[in-house]
Every structure is written in C-alpha cells, then in structure tokens.
Chains A and B, each alone.
Chain A
Amino acid sequence: MPDRPNQSYLGKVVLVAWREFRHTALTKGFIFGAVAVPVVMFGVITLMPLLVSRESPPLVGTIVVADPEGSVSARAEQVLVTPPSVKEVLDELASAEATPASPAGTAEAIDAASSLSAAPQRIEVTWRVEPSLDAVEAIKRDVREGKILAGAAIPPDALDPANATDGFELFIPSSLSPKHVRQITRALGVALEEERVERSGLDAALLARLKDRPEPRTTRISPEGDEAEENTEARFLVPIAFMFLLWITVFTSANYLLTTTIEEKSNKVMEVLLAAASPLQLLGGKIVGYALVSTVMLVMYGALGVAGLTALAMGDLVPAMHLVYLAIYFVIAYVMVAAMMSAVGSAVSDLREAQSLVGPVMTLLLVPLILWMPITQDPNGMLATITSFIPPASPFVMILRLTAATEPVPMWQVIAATVWGLACAAGLLWLASRIFRVGVLMQGKPPTPRELLKWAFVR
C-alpha cells in the first residue's frame, strides 16, 4: 500500500490553477494569439523603418517640362531634392483623412507618412525644358516609349498671379510608382506656388514665415499649483489604450473562465473534481489560473505598446506610475469580473443560458467603453467621479482618469476608489464562492438573478 496520500489546501489550488493555465495558455491557439502576434507586431514596428529605408526606390531619369516661361523647372529641381517638412506631411495626412475612406486615400496617407522617414533616397533627375507647349505630343510619345521618367506642361496662365486658376499637366508612364508621382507632383506644385508668389512681388520666404501658425507650449496648472506639460496626443490616445488593454485582457480571461466552468459542468467532470477538492479550492484555482493567462496577455500587449512608443521616441507618454496603476486596477477588475463570470458559469448548463445572466454584467462593463470620451475630457467631473465608484466599471474608469494626462485626480479619490474596488472584489469573490458551491451541482432550468442571490445564503 502506498503512503497515505495528503495534498495541502493550497497545493490543490495550485494544481487546479496550473491545469487551467496549461490547458489555456500552453495551446497553439493561445500562443499564436497572445504571444506570437505581439512579438511579430513588435518586430514589424521595429523593423519597418529599416525595411522601408532599404527598399526605398531611387528616382532616376529625365523629366521634360514644356515651360514657355522657363522658370518653373529650375525651382522644381531644387524642391525635388529637398525633403518635405513635418508640417507639410501632417497637412497632407490631414487632407487624406478628410477625404472619404478609400483605398486611394489610405495609400496617400501611407505614402505621406512614409515621407517622414529620414531614409536617404538616390535622386538623379535630369530636367529638360521645352520652350513651347507644342512639344506636348513629343513629350507624351517619349513617356509612352519609356524614354523619359515623366513630362509636364506648364501653361503661362498658371503663373499669372492675377489669374492663377489653371493647373499644370503631368504625363507619367504606367510603371511609375505612386511615391515617385507624389515627389514629382510636389516638386512642380511647390515650384509653381513659389513662382506665383515671386511674380506678385512678395518675398516667398517671408510669406512662408508669416503664414506659419505658431504652436503654443501649453502647461496645465491645477488648483493646487501642480504644473504638467500638455500633450494632446497623450491626452486622447493613452487613456483609451490603457482602458482597452485592461478591458480586453480581463474580459478574455473571464470569458475563458465562464466557458470552461460551463464545460466542466456539462461534461459532468465537476462532481469528480468536487470529490477531490472543495468548491472554494476549485474556484480559487480557476481564478488564479486564468489570472495568469490574463497576466500573460497584459504583459505581452503592454510590452508591445511600450516598446512601440519607445521605438517611436514617445516613451514619455507612459510614465512608470501609469504601469503601477494598471497593475493595481488589473487585479481589482480581474477579480471582480472573474468572480461574476465563475458564478454565472456554475449556475447554468450551456452558453445560451449564460447570456441572460451575463447581460447585466456586460452592461456595466460597457460603461467605460461608452463614456471614455466625456470621462477623459473631464477626468475630475461629476460623471467620472461617480462612475469611479460603480463596480465593475470602477477600475476601468479609474485607469481612464489617471492616465488622462490632464489635472491630477485627487489623491483621496484614488485611495477611496482603490479601497472600495478591493472591497467590492472581495465581496464579489465571497458571493461567487457561495453561488459556485451550490450552482455546480444544479441541473435543469437556469436560475433567475434572485435565485442566484438566494443560493449565496443557503447553508
């Protein structure tokens, strides 16, 4: 006879947790989704500039311009070798975004954004000027036969400052890449613009300086006198990124918890497990196991975000304190949602039955998704403050408020919301354990929310 078996209380929790983690996280599907995808995405983000710069095609050939005035091509030659400014690119991006979504618009945006790359490009273009517009047909023939890179015709009216309504004609072969088309178009367009300005008697450089709208260096000052540099991008993007990260990682694991609990119940394996471990050990093990699953996702995607921002020299958008808050509210949010999902999972026999009970939980979880804009716009307003204390939305709202990069959330509210969140998480966990204990052995029609509460207080 073997030694008398004896497994410690925590030992059983750990065993259950490891099984749940192993059979969820160490599967091909999960490894691909939660580990491989972030790694590949990180690799793409990191390597993209390198790949783009290496693959940037040279611009080589002859451009023939039918330019009776003879002034545009000289300017265009200069503009072509000068990279566009950031402002110029952003303006182009804005105009691309302003147009209705279309593949062309998207391509333009990508093309404009790629202009920001500091990757060197070989530009060896010979400009030839044809003094008469009669040369247009010859230019078009040369383009068709591939003898020249591109051709253009500048009508004299296009240079008239008093009547500059006409544009110019551009002739390109079908093989010319969109990037090269943009470069040539920009060179000729800017040259025309400068020529018009000069012909009107103005100083083009002076005009450019005068038209350059100044950007303020904004500092936010709180009533307590705290000063923080305003960062518009951070203000909009960082809170929603943090909240989504928290929401997705918590909800994905809680959903696993719901489905596996239902599966164990419908497979009748639950009673076998209850013969080996108490309901509390089972529930504890399951919650810990899926917490690990959730943590893997949080770390992988969080690291991807931080690494991506660092690679784009925007690491300062995520201060270390934000990560500490993320960890704290992740624990609170996960325990709350996991407790509710495990209680629901234990009470029903299939996913269809679970829908009616999960509905109210989901409604509360959708609050931060629906209200993220007003909350980040006014992180210390009435709406934000009240929703900070409504579980299970509270941790999601708090992470939105704390990362909103505007005036700091009052410390008393941070402490109160955290303590309240922990208390709610503990309360929900207790309630879930009571429901779980009864629910896992129940068969038949699913309980009403009222019956669920009754189970919690059954001896």
Chain B
Amino acid sequence: MLMQNTTSSSSSVTAVAPAASAAGAVLLEGVCKRFGKVDAVRGISLSIPERSLCGFLGPNGAGKSTTIRMIMSIIAPDAGRVEVMGSSALAMKDRIGYLPEDRGLYRKMKVGEFVGYMARLKGVHPQGLSRRIDDWLERLELPGVIKRRCEELSKGQQQKIQLLASIIHAPDLLILDEPFSGLDPVNGRLVLELIRSEQARGATIIFSTHQMHTAEALCDKVVLINKGEKVLDATMPELRARYDDRGLVCEPLSAPDDFAALALRSGLAMHARTHENGAVDLDLAAGVAAADAMRAVLELAPMRSLGLRRMNLDDLFVELVSGPESGGSARKGAKIDA
C-alpha cells in the first residue's frame, strides 16, 4: 500500500515514498501555452514518477486543465517538451485513461455500448469485454444499467460511467480532472477507493481537485499551479518537512489568554494565537526544541490536549495562492506577541 498515513511522523512517511519508481511517467520541461493574450501556462516543468499519485492543485483558471490537456496531447504546447511514459502522449494514448473536467457522453447511447465503444477505441479486445463491463458496473454499484440509455441515469451515475470509460482499459497512466466534483459523500468515497485500487494495480495517477483534504489523504506528490505557473512541487514528506512550522497547538483547561501570556513570559514562544474554541497556537522561540517545549507547557498549565502543529494543505494552498498575509484558518485568531 503506497498511501501514507497523514498522522504519521515525517520519518515514517519517508519510508513509504520509495515505492514510487524514479523513472518519470510524465515529464514536462518549460511548457508554455498562450490563448490569445492570455498566458494559460508559463514555463511549467515537472516530473511525475511512475506508480505515484500526484495531485494537481490550484485555483479556478490557474492552468491545471490546460496542463492536463497538453499532457494528453489534446492541445500542443507553444513551447517546451511533454513526455509521457518515455514517448509522446499521442503514441501512448491507449495506455492513458482520462476523465476530463467537462464530463461528456453520448446521451442516446446505451451504457454498455458507450463504455464498450470507448474501450474498443482504447484497444481492448471485444472478446470478454461485455463481461468486463458488467463486473465494473457491479463494482461501481451500478448493476442493471448496462442496457439503459446514458440520458436515463442520474448525474452521479453518469459521472461514474464516465469514470468507468476512463479506466475500463486498465491504463498505465490515469488522469482525472476534478473526479470528485458533483459526487455525494458515499460516491466520493467509492471513487476514492477506486483511485486507490488503481494505484495499487500499478497505475500512475494524476488528479486535479479543489478538495485539499482529499489531496492530503491520497497524494504522494502535490503540484500547485497558480496563474499558469508552478508554485509548489513536492512530495508529501517534503512538504511536511518544509512547511511543518515549529509550533504547538495547546488546549489549556485554564483561560486561553492567561495561558498564552504565561507561555510568552516563560520564553517558550515568541508568538501566541488564541482561538474561539479555546485552543492556543504557540510559535516556538528560537532554540527551543519541540519536545522540551511540550514538557514545559505541561508544567505551565494542565492541558485538555497538546500536540505539534502540522502542515495543513488547505492553509498552504490559500497562503501560496493569496500570499502569506491571508493566512490559513489554522493560523487565524487573536495574535499576541512576546
């Protein structure tokens, strides 16, 4: 299982990472794309290792879908190089599964016929195809829809059919543009499990999403794109190492403001933030080790809970996209300086 536990320490996460091969499934070098006067993608370079699960993050209009379309060779870059599994995506088309942001299917076609058509286009042999479609429909909790027209299905069911059309040929590279949008929590979880099982099968997966908690739960690697530029490209362990700032999250039994003042006076922290829920964030002073600080905090006041402050992808996203001043929700609160 390649998935990392988000609550595990940095060292244990690093131990999981080598499962991803060093060889790149996708390689982009200085890729640019311009539409009229708009620079949609500006010099993006990145490498996505084989069998990894990479999240493409970014605000709306950041250039994620354009980058994905260039990886798929649906559109050609104006400059730069795109390589997919050591070749061009055109040559590798049958080994790639793609769920575009704009979902589409032939409304009048029957479900089995549509999935079968897409599978045949991807080179799946017709022998046994019907059986394979049946099995997948069962797995996606869509039994008995094979002979129904696509237009007769609900939006969520249609979305699952589109997802099935992108994985029916067991692709080596699976690119999913916003796979969770429009899904209820039950179906969202089903798709999540499907993505995990596809990765376990050996596929490299790239997916774009706005759901940071999903990305945090799923990804080995995260690429953040903003205004056509790559602003972040790191594995989750690297992210934690880079952005887990030196801080504690304390929940004192006493009044939070009193505890914050006490912590600042003791020299443990240089800043403290109190939150409405009674929690206090402490930014540790230089030279104070986190373990020592935790012991010291417990001596200062009895605690309901105490922990190390962890990197939060949601906050990181907002900070990188909107600038450090905006801050994340975890850092909001009344700030007290030493």
- Which among B71-79, B240-248, B283-291 touches the partner chain? B71-79
Q: A1-B170, A15-B117, A272-B162 are in contact. Are A267 and B104 (CB under 8 A)?
A: yes
How far is it, in angstroms, between the C-alpha of A272 and the C-alpha of B150 when the chains are bound? 15
Determine if A275 is an interface residue (Cβ-Cβ < 8 Å). yes
Q: Is A269 touching B105 in the complex (CB atoms < 8 A)?
A: yes
How far is it, in angstroms, between the C-alpha of A274 and the C-alpha of B122 when the chains are bound? 11
Contacts of A277 in B (CB 8 A): 93, 121
Interface SS of chain B: helix, strand, loop or mixed? Answer: loop
What is the size category of the interface that chain B forms with chain A? 35 or more
Give the A interface residue count (CB, 8 A).
Answer: 28
Q: Is B94 touching A275 in the complex (CB atoms < 8 A)?
A: no
- Most chain-B CB neighbours within 10 Å: which of A1, A274, A459? A274
Contacts of A267 in B (CB 8 A): 104-107
- 0/1 per residue, A8-36, Cβ < 8 Å to B? 00011001100100010000000000000
How far is it, in angstroms, between the C-alpha of A11 and the C-alpha of B75 when the chains are bound? 23
> Which residues in chain B, 208-238, are within 8 Å of chain A measured between CB atoms?
none
Q: A6-B94, A275-B100 are in contact. Are A23 and B108 (CB under 8 A)?
A: yes
Q: Is B118 touching A272 in the complex (CB atoms < 8 A)?
A: yes
Q: A268-B100, A271-B74 are in contact. Are A441 and B121 (CB under 8 A)?
A: no
Contacts of B94 in A (CB 8 A): 5-7, 276
Which of the residues A5, A16, A271, A459 comes within 8 Å of B169, measured between beta carbons?
A: A5
Least CB distance, B158 to chain A, in whole angstroms = 11
Which of the residues B74, B124, B165 comes within 8 Å of A274, measured between beta carbons?
A: B74
Q: Is B108 touching A19 in the complex (CB atoms < 8 A)?
A: no
Which of the residues B93, B102, B109 comes within 8 Å of A268, measured between beta carbons?
A: B102
Determine if B201 is an interface residue (Cβ-Cβ < 8 Å). yes
Determine if A87 is an interface residue (Cβ-Cβ < 8 Å). no
Determine if A103 is an interface residue (Cβ-Cβ < 8 Å). no
> Which residues in chain A, 261-301, are within 8 Å of chain B measured between CB atoms?
264, 267-278
Contacts of A273 in B (CB 8 A): 121
Contacts of B122 in A (CB 8 A): 5, 7, 276
Determine if B23 is an interface residue (Cβ-Cβ < 8 Å). no
Determine if A137 is an interface residue (Cβ-Cβ < 8 Å). no
Q: Is A272 touching B169 in the complex (CB atoms < 8 A)?
A: no
Q: Is B201 touching A1 in the complex (CB atoms < 8 A)?
A: yes
Which of the residues A4, A16, A23, A275 comes within 8 Å of B98, measured between beta carbons?
A: A275
Determine if A2 is an interface residue (Cβ-Cβ < 8 Å). yes
Q: Is A23 touching B100 in the complex (CB atoms < 8 A)?
A: no
Task: Provide 12 A-B residue pairs closer than 8 Å at the C-beta atoms, listed in order of the A residue.
Answer: A4-B95, A7-B123, A16-B121, A267-B107, A268-B103, A270-B104, A272-B100, A272-B166, A275-B74, A276-B93, A276-B122, A441-B74
Q: What residues of chain A have their CB less than 8 Å away from a CB belonging to chain B? A: 1-7, 11-12, 15-16, 19, 23, 264, 267-278, 441, 459
Q: What residues of chain B have their CB less than 8 Å away from a CB belonging to chain A? A: 69, 72, 74-76, 78, 90, 93-98, 100, 102-109, 117-118, 120-125, 132, 162, 165-166, 169-170, 201-202
Extra pairs beyond A23-B109, A269-B105, A277-B93 (20, CB < 8 Å): A1-B170, A1-B202, A2-B169, A4-B95, A5-B122, A6-B123, A12-B121, A19-B117, A267-B105, A269-B106, A272-B105, A272-B118, A272-B162, A275-B72, A275-B97, A275-B100, A276-B121, A277-B121, A278-B93, A441-B75
